[in-house]
Amino acid sequence: MPVALFDTRTPLAPLREELLAALTGVLDDARYILGPNVAAFEEEFASYVGASHAIGVANGTDAITIALRAMGVGPGDEVIVPSFTFYASAEAIPPTGAVPVFCDIDLETFCVTPDTVRAALTPRTKAVIAVHLFGNIAPVAEIEALGVPVLEDAAQAAGSVSSAGRPGALGTAATFSFFPSKNLGAFGDGGAITTSDDAVADRVRMLRFHGSRDKVTYEHIGYNSRLDELQAAILRVQLPHLDAWADGRRAAGRHYAAAGLAELVELPVAVAGCDPAWHLYVIRHDHADELADALAAAGIGQKAYYRTPLHHQAPLVAYDRGLALPATEEAARTHLAIPMSPVLSEQQADEVTDAIRAGLAEIGVAAGASARDGG
Ligand SMILES: Cc1ncc(COP(=O)(O)O)c(C=O)c1O
């Protein structure tokens, strides 16, 4: 049986009536921009993550640019960002006037560490973007202990938890994406910024609405970047289910372990103290591309999301300072996302694992010859 890379349909099926009622409610109310659903969702989401404020914006990319500007980042500043992440994590920096400085990751967790950030620090560093990649949670407090404010890019980490709290409440501010395939997904684009800093929240609210508080006088060159009322209504129906879905993702990770996947490939490792709601389940293997071809032939969803790290992407090459990023290069070469969803069953995990075992045999790689031992 084919297994899709992700499944956004099954978890939403039981919520169909409630979702339709929420959409009808918006239609009946006829308020489509910054209405009662956005206000209520902002309150509910802030309370969920444990921050004082959540501010809805148009998407997770705008969220980063706006949050950085609200944190005071501007021309002449540097922002440290991992090179192994989605393009938007770095793309969102130059519009603030600052420049991205790429840092390395930890190969096992795919997240930045205090050491990889320290290597990229300069007197111009104004902020660090700690990307909670694949649902893991970067060690925010340890990075802030270096003396730089952290913006959490939590686009992939809604539903994850750590001993320090939830993503969204760990740094100076945090950004979320509600792109449909995310752990908490809208029916289109959407995003949010969370913070417990009142001044940052105030600037974010202004920036998302053209730099205005009252819609008639303008204090900044801002953005038209708002979470739509319809999307907020949809997100409000889903938010109460996020923790159960996160548990489903954790269970899927356990199904893979029980199926013996660790004997075949390198599994993702949780950052110490973190219980990830795996957004993507990303394995590593020296023959990742051949394995991907074998899985595709067997009907198993797979994708190498970041084969080219950001410091090699054409529009960002100019920002590369030549800092060695060995774990980034290695992760980029060897990673492969395999099926993950809140409803991935034991049987599906067995099927995927069997297909990986068969694929490795087909390409002539012995079991156990994974990325770790360079086989
Ligand atoms: C790590 C990361 N940062 C930022 C974004 C940007 O979010 P959006 O697509 O909502 O602009 C995404 C997702 O797309 C992401 O995965």
Percent of the chain with pLDDT over 70: 97
The pLDDT tens digits for 316-364 are 999 999 999 999 999 999 999 999 999 999 999 999 999 999 999 999 8
Q: What pLDDT is stored for residue 369 in this prediction? A: 52
What stretches of 92-172 adopt beta strand conformation (E)? 99-103, 125-131, 150-153, 161-162
What pTM, to 2 d.p., does this model score?
0.97
**Whether pLDDT at 91 is above 70:** yes
- Evaluate whether 157 touches 279 at the Cβ level (below 8 Å): yes
Q: Name the residue of 64, 110, 112, 179 to mutate for ligand 1: max ligand atoms within 8 A of Cβ.
A: 179
Alpha helix stretches (DSSP H) within the chain: 16-29, 36-49, 60-70, 88-91, 114-118, 140-144, 198-208, 229-238, 242-258, 288-297, 326-334, 346-362
Of 374 and 240, the one with more pLDDT: 240
Please write the tens of the pLDDT for every residue from 92-105.
999 999 999 999 99
Output the six-digit token pair for 306: 């970041």
In testing the pocket of ligand 1, which one of 86, 133, 134, 183 has its CB within 8 Å of the most ligand atoms?
86
What percent of the chain stands above pLDDT 90? 97
The conformation of residue 58, written as its DSSP 8-state character, comes to S
- Supply the DSSP string of 66-91, one letter for each residue: HHHHHTT--TT-EEEEESSS-THHHH
Distance 350 CA to ligand 1 centre (A): 30
Tell me what the pLDDT averaged over the chain comes to: 96
pLDDT computed for residue 365 by the predictor: 83
Q: What is the identity of the amino acid at 22?
A: A
Q: Report how far residue 310's alpha carbon sits from residue 89's, in angstroms, rounded to the nearest whole number.
A: 9
Six token digits for residue 219: 């204090």
User: Candidates 6, 61, 112: which one to mutate for ligand 1, based on the most atoms within 8 Å of Cβ?
Assistant: 61
How far is Cα 275 from Cα 289, in angstroms, rounded to an integer?
29
Q: What average pLDDT does the segment 124-131 reach?
A: 98
Nearest to 339 by CA among 324, 326, 354: 354
CB atoms closer than 10 angstroms to residue 9: 10
What is the pLDDT, as a whole number, of residue 364?
87
Mapping DSSP onto H, E and C, the string for 283-304 reads EECCCHHHHHHHHHHCCECCEC
Stretch 171-185: mean pLDDT: 98
Task: Check pLDDT > 90 for residue 59.
Answer: yes
Measured CA to CA, the distance from residue 148 to residue 365 in angstroms comes to 45
Give the pLDDT band (50/70/90) at residue 370: low
210: three-class secondary structure by DSSP: coil
Residue 269 CB neighbour total at 10 angstroms: 15
The answer on pLDDT for 293 being more than 90 is: yes
**What residue type is 169 in one-letter code?**
A
Q: Pick from 140, 139, 178, 172: which is nearest to 159 by CA? A: 178
pLDDT in tens, 20-44: 999 999 999 999 999 999 999 999 9
pLDDT band at 375 (very low <50, low <70, confident <90, very high): very low
SS3 call for 178: coil
pLDDT for the residue 276: 98
Residue 86 pLDDT > 60, yes or no?
A: yes
pLDDT value of residue 374: 44
How far does residue 60's CA lie from ligand 1's centre (Å)?
5
Q: Report the SS3 class of residue 319.
A: helix
Is ligand 1 within 6 A of the CB of residue 183? no
Contacts 24+ apart (CB under 8 A), 237-242: 237/15, 237/18, 237/19, 237/22, 238/12, 238/15, 238/184, 238/185, 239/41, 239/44, 239/45, 239/48, 239/184, 241/11, 241/15, 242/48, 242/158, 242/159, 242/183, 242/184
Type of residue at 154: A
CA distance 60 to 58: 7
Binned at pLDDT 50, 70 and 90, residue 191 comes out as very high
Query: Cα-flanking dihedrals φ and ψ of residue 99, to 5°?
Result: -115, 145
Question: Given a cut of 50, is residue 127 above it in pLDDT?
Answer: yes
Q: Which tens digit of pLDDT belongs to each residue from 129-139?
A: 999 999 999 99
Question: For atom 7 of ligand 1, which residue has the closest CA?
Answer: 60
The phi and psi torsions of 165 (rounded to 5 degrees) equal 130, -165
CA distance 185 to 103: 29
- Residue 366: what pLDDT? 63
